[in-house]
């Protein structure tokens, strides 16, 4: 029995494509089903061509999926576009299933692999009210019916999304759509019922939740797609979580404000996409020099410059690892899915405090703007503020030279620990060694003190995660958002008889050279990245000397499993 369906809702910006997609996804997770949803949208507020793709199954869904089983076409363009085998949408599949659309759409090219279901979407909707978006709910009702799902659960999902008059209208639209399909068409497919309601959460929301559980008291950020979903989620919970939200005048202000907050003793975070992060580099170097913890959420989009504001890419990795002048320690973490976005964000806050250095959570549009079902999220978390001095400690040295490089912090307001934190090179006490007479001995010791923290961190970081790697002779190496699609590609290749496993790089920097060599030696190594130059491949080469084979996609869209499978076979999957 087929237990995996891909559904697409296509229309123009402003048609309610995304909200319909999220509503349908919630209906699925309330049935105990697993979901992956991704918004294919453009950089405009009204018009154009956008669609929302949902993949649903009773098993964990790891990516948006190949194939297309059900299409809701909200306009003629969408109907023609998604039924065309020559579809030119960055790797997306064309429809081989049912198309639900308003009966007024007549002018389309008939394909024999499509079952066309022209329906009175507008007629039903206008019979209920003047709200033009009601037709979406009618169409969703038809899909719910076509997949033999529970109308009451669909209505319960509607109740969490709509309020007041619009709630009643939408319930009526759902019922009529559901019944219309039932009366006129046969069940298209059935999904096994899941056992337990699932959490449905977006990548950006998961970062926000991780930050909240990780103990932030403030989030300061300038809006920028695709990092804004975190800002929006935190802002909507500012009062109940007691988290201060500020949109400052620019990203330079954001990073410096957050540095001031962490210096003063609270946990505070900032976030942006590459273009906004570009403005933060100098501030990140400041945090490194003063040894002030700071966590930066960098959600990449296709660049350079404005690039493709609503499309994904993994093009910022080397920039982040090399950003800001001078030699300094930092940590770069790349969660692979929504669940990891939650867990690694809260962990990043502990690492930043413990090692007193900038820590990056690197995401991208594909991860930040997807929604995924998750079985559960553990809210219990031990906040570790790291080393903090005792008040009136006469031996207090803010930058004490220690074996592991870590020295005690002191916050303003603490008695007897007054000191200066300086962007100039300084000694153990914090006194400047760069002005009257530059002190080369202390300069050397201070550089080594800071860099020792990186060595300490490297020793304490977990080893690389793997997926089906044990008996593999081909290792697919991935970082960040591609985790799920690469894992599924490995599964497909295994089914075809190839011995393929995955090495997942979460802690990209500091890079664990020994572990990489241990886990990949003797295997064919293929890096898979959403960028042109293979930035992870270059990093691997820099640290290990190993030249990998490369699979790269850089047209703005995320990988589909079939693309990776075909490329691996082409690269000699023996």
Partner 1 sequence: MVTLKDYDYHVKPDWCPGCGNFSQWTAIKGALVELGIEPHNVVIVSGIGCSSNMPEYIRAYGFHGLHGRPLPVASGIKFANSDLTVIAYGGDGDGYYEGLNHLYHTAKRNIDIKYIVSDNEVFGLTTGQASPTAPFGFVSKTTPPPEGSLEIPVNPLTLALTAGATFVARGYSGEIKHLQSLIVEAIKHKGFALIDVLSPCVTWNKIATYEYYKERVYKLKDNDLTDFEGAYKLAMQSGDKIPIGIFYKVEKPTYNDLDPVLKQGPLMKRGTEIKKEILNEFY
89 or 439, CB closer to partner 1? Answer: 439
Closer to partner 1 by Cβ: residue 157 or 476: 157
Residue choice 42, 126, 131, 238 for contact with partner 1 (CB under 8 A): 238
- Pick 8 or 26: Cβ nearer partner 1: 26
Q: Give the helix/strand (H/E) hosting 5.
A: strand 4-13
C-alpha 8/C-alpha 143 separation (Å) is 11
CB-nearer residue toward partner 1: 241 or 517? 241
Block residue for tokens 């990998």? 548
Residue span binding partner 1 (CB under 8 A) among the ranges 211-219, 400-408, 477-485, 560-568:
211-219
What is the C-alpha end-to-end distance of the chain, expressed in Å?
31
CB of 412 to partner 1, least distance (A): 4
Residue 351 as a binder of partner 1 (CB under 8 A): the answer is no
Asked whether position 223 contacts partner 1 by CB under 8 A, the answer is no
Is residue 442 near partner 1 by the rule CB under 8 A? no
CA geometry: angle 282, 531, 543, nearest 5 deg? 70
Three-state SS at 293? coil
Q: Does 3 bind partner 1 (CB under 8 A)?
A: no
Verify binding: residue 67, partner 1, rule CB under 8 A. no
Q: Is 561 helix (H, G, I), strand (E, B) or coil?
A: helix
Cβ–Cβ under 8 Å, residues 406 and 356 = yes
Answer yes or no whether residue 288 interacts with partner 1 by CB under 8 A.
Answer: no
Q: Does 91 bind partner 1 (CB under 8 A)?
A: no
Q: Which window, 58-66, 171-179, 205-213, 547-555, contacts partner 1 (CB under 8 A)?
A: 205-213
Is residue 42 near partner 1 by the rule CB under 8 A? no
* Span near partner 1 by CB under 8 A; candidates 96-104, 128-136, 179-187, 201-209: 201-209
- Residue 417 CB, shortest distance to partner 1, in Å, is 7
421 is a contact residue toward partner 1 (CB under 8 A): yes
Q: Which stretch binds partner 1 (CB under 8 A): 72-80, 98-106, 416-424, 512-520?
A: 416-424
Burial 323-357 (b: 16+ CB within 10 A, else e): bbeeebbbbbbbbbbbbbbbbbbbbbbbbbbbbbb
Looking at 73, 290, 469, 528, which residue binds partner 1 (CB under 8 A)? 290
Residues 257-286 interacting with partner 1 (rule: CB under 8 A): 257-266, 268, 282-283, 286
Residue 268 CB, nearest approach to partner 1 (Å): 7
Instruction: Report DSSP state, residue 302.
Output: B
Tokens 């934190």, residue? 421
Residue in 223, 304, 416, 462 binding partner 1, rule: CB under 8 A: 416
Stretch that binds partner 1, among 17-25, 111-119, 178-186, 421-429 (CB under 8 A): 421-429
Q: From residue 310, how far is each of 45, 119, 229, 450 by CA, in Å?
A: 12, 32, 13, 38
Place of tokens 């916050």: 411
> In angstroms, what is the minimal distance from the CB of 413 to partner 1?
6
Q: Does 379 bind partner 1 (CB under 8 A)?
A: yes
Beta carbon nearer to partner 1, 174 or 261: 261
Would you state the structure tokens that stand for residue 416, as one six-digit string?
A: 């007897």
Which of 112, 152, 435, 574 forms a contact with partner 1 (CB under 8 A)? 435
| Rounded Cα distance, 20 and 26, in Å | 10
Q: What tokens were used for 265?
A: 């003793």
Cβ contact 364:390 at 8 Å: no
212 binds partner 1 (CB under 8 A): yes
Complex with partner 1: residue 376 or 403, whichever CB lies closer: 376
Answer yes or no whether residue 244 interacts with partner 1 by CB under 8 A. yes
Is residue 436 within the footprint of partner 1 (CB under 8 A)? yes
Q: Is 201 in the site for partner 1 (CB under 8 A)?
A: yes
List CB contacts of 294: < 8 A, sequence separation 6 or more: 255, 258, 259, 262, 268, 269, 270, 284, 287, 352, 358, 359
Stretch that binds partner 1, among 432-440, 443-451, 498-506, 520-528 (CB under 8 A): 432-440
Single residue of 50, 176, 256, 368 touching partner 1 by CB under 8 A:
256
Binder of partner 1 out of 383, 518, 542, 569 (CB under 8 A): 383
434, 446 Cβ separation under 8 angstroms: no
255 vs 472 by CB, closer to partner 1: 255
Residue 350 CB contacts under 8 Å (≥ 6 apart), including other chains:
214, 383, 384, 386
Length of the chain: 574
Q: Is 420 in the site for partner 1 (CB under 8 A)?
A: yes
**Residue with smaller CB distance to partner 1, 123 or 252:** 252
**Exposed/middle/buried for residue 163 (C-beta within 10 Å: 0-12, 13-18, 19+):** exposed
CA distances from residue 68 to 71, 93, 486 in whole angstroms, order as listed: 7, 6, 20
Q: Which of 229, 214, 256 is closest to 383 using CA atoms?
A: 214
Closest CA to 166 of 134, 143, 126: 134
Residue 204's CB is within 10 A of a number of other CB atoms, namely: 29
According to the binding rule CB under 8 A, does residue 415 interact with partner 1?
yes
Q: Report the alpha-carbon distance of residue 200 to residue 37 in Å, rounded.
A: 10
CA pair distance 398, 291, nearest whole angstrom: 10
Binding-residue pattern over the window 161 to 200 for partner 1, x denoting contact by CB under 8 A: ------------------------------------xxxx
Closer residue to partner 1 (CB): 320 or 417:
417
Contact (CB, 8 A) for 54 and 24: yes
- Residue 288 sits at φ, ψ, to 5 deg, of -65, -45
H or E segment to which residue 61 belongs = none
Judged by CB, which is closer to partner 1: 21, or 573?
21
Among 76, 393, 422, 491, binds partner 1 (CB under 8 A): 422
In the complex, the residues that contact partner 1 under the rule CB under 8 A are: 29-30, 160, 197-201, 205, 209, 212-213, 215, 217-218, 220, 237-239, 241-246, 248-250, 252-254, 256-266, 268, 282-283, 286, 290, 377, 379, 383, 411-424, 430-432, 435-436
């Amino acid at each position: 029995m087929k237990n995996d369906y891909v559904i697409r809702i296509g229309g123009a910006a402003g048609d309610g494509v995304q909200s319909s997609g999220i509503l349908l996804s919630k209906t699925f997770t309330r049935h105990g089903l697993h979901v992956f949803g991704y918004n294919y949208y453009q950089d405009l507020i009204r018009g154009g061509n956008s669609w929302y793709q949902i993949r649903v199954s009773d098993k964990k869904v790891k990516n948006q999926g190949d194939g297309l089983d059900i299409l809701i076409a909200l306009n003629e363009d969408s109907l023609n576009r998604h039924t065309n085998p020559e579809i030119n949408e960055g790797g997306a599949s064309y429809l081989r299933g049912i198309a639900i659309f308003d009966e007024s759409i007549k002018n389309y090219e008939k394909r024999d692999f499509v079952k066309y279901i022209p329906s009175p979407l507008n007629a039903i909707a206008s019979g209920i009210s003047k709200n033009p978006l009601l037709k979406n709910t009618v169409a969703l009702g038809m899909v719910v019916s076509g997949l033999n799902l529970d109308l009451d659960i669909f209505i319960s999902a509607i109740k969490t999304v709509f309020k007041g008059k619009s709630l009643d209208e939408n319930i009526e639209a759902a019922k009529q759509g559901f019944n219309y399909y039932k009366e006129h068409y046969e069940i298209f497919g059935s999904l096994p019922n899941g056992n337990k309601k699932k959490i449905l959460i977006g990548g950006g929301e998961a970062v926000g939740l991780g930050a909240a559980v990780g103990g932030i008291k403030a989030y300061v950020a300038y809006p920028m797609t695709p990092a804004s979903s975190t800002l929006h989620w935190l802002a909507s919970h500012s009062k109940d979580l007691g988290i201060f939200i500020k949109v400052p005048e620019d990203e330079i202000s954001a990073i410096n404000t957050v540095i001031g907050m962490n210096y003063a003793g609270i946990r505070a975070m900032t976030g942006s996409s590459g273009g906004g992060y570009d403005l933060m580099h100098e501030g990140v170097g400041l945090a490194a020099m003063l040894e002030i913890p700071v966590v930066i959420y960098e959600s990449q989009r296709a660049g350079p410059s404005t690039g493709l504001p609503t499309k994904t890419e993994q093009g910022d990795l080397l920039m982040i690892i090399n950003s800001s002048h001078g030699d300094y320690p930092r940590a770069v973490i790349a969660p692979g899915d929504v669940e990891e976005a939650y867990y690694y964000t809260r962990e990043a806050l502990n690492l930043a405090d413990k090692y007193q250095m900038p820590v990056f959570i690197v995401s991208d549009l594909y991860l930040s703007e997807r929604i995924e079902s998750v079985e559960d999220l553990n809210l219990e978390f031990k906040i570790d503020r790291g080393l903090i001095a005792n008040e009136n400690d006469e031996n207090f040295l803010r930058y004490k030279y220690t074996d592991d490089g870590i020295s005690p912090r002191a916050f303003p307001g603490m008695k007897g620990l007054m000191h200066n934190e300086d962007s100039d090179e300084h000694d153990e006490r914090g006194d400047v060694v760069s002005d009257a007479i530059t002190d080369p001995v202390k300069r050397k010791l201070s550089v080594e003190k800071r860099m020792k923290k990186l060595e300490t961190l490297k020793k304490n970081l977990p080893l690389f995660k793997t997926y089906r790697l044990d008996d593999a002779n081909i290792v697919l190496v991935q970082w960040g958002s591609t985790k799920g699609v690469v894992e599924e590609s490995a599964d497909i290749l295994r089914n075809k008889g190839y011995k393929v496993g995955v090495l997942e790089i979460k802690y990209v920097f500091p890079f664990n050279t020994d572990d990489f060599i241990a886990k990949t030696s003797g295997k064919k190594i293929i890096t898979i990245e959403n960028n042109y130059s293979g930035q992870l491949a270059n990093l691997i080469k820099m640290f290990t000397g190993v030249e990998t084979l490369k699979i790269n996609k850089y047209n703005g869209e995320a990988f589909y499993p079939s693309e990776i499978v075909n490329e691996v076979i082409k690269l000699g999957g023996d």
